[in-house]
Structure 1
């Protein structure tokens, strides 16, 4: 059941949500998580608000296998756009973005760089 922040009668929006992990441990290396989220809302402002509320509900802390307290928090809402195709009952284009520096993208994207997480 949708929360009160979500309006399932609205248009589909795609939100790019950036989460950040942290720890009190000096040797901990932060990890970032980019989520691509489908939000139904009446307009872009409502979609941004719903995406932020959803991300805040997912914030959490836990002890990892080394006994370090790991905390996941919302870093930022990177972008919110109405879905490119609004009929989500079939294959659809949801979101696109453009960039100029492929080398920087390759370094950033662990699936391209071969980086182990």
Structure 2
């Protein structure tokens, strides 16, 4: 069976043992090579499914864990030559997107 490239969009959530800790979230895009979408999902879960912990500079244990697989789709251009479009999503509420996306202020 032919292997394809898929992009998996993963959402991680942090937790800590500190009483006043506010969770931080991370959106991560991974490239998965698989024969089917179902196989790509299994690989994404295997990659992201185990929580990761460390002690921060304040001595607090921080644990990152997979909150959700947001999306899995074939890459848009699987040739991966020079510049390739990998993933796209569409939305209607630009104001909500601006609130979410910090890089829209012009800084990278």
TM-score > 0.5, shorter chain as reference = yes
1:86 offset after TM fit, Å?
1.1
Question: Is the CA contact 1:107–1:113 (under 8 Å) kept in the aligned structure 2?
Answer: no
Task: Give the superposed CA RMSD.
Answer: 1.6
Q: Deviations over 1:41-89 (max 9, x none)?
A: 00101111111111124x3111111111100000010000001111013
The aligned counterpart of 2:98 is: 106
Unaligned 5+ residue runs, structure 2?
Answer: none
| 1:21 aligns with one of 14, 26, 42 | 14
1:113 offset after TM fit, Å?
5.8
Task: Extract structure 1 runs of 4+ deviating beyond 4 A.
Answer: none
How many residues end up aligned between the 2 structures?
A: 105
TM-score (norm 1): 0.83
TM-score (norm 2): 0.89
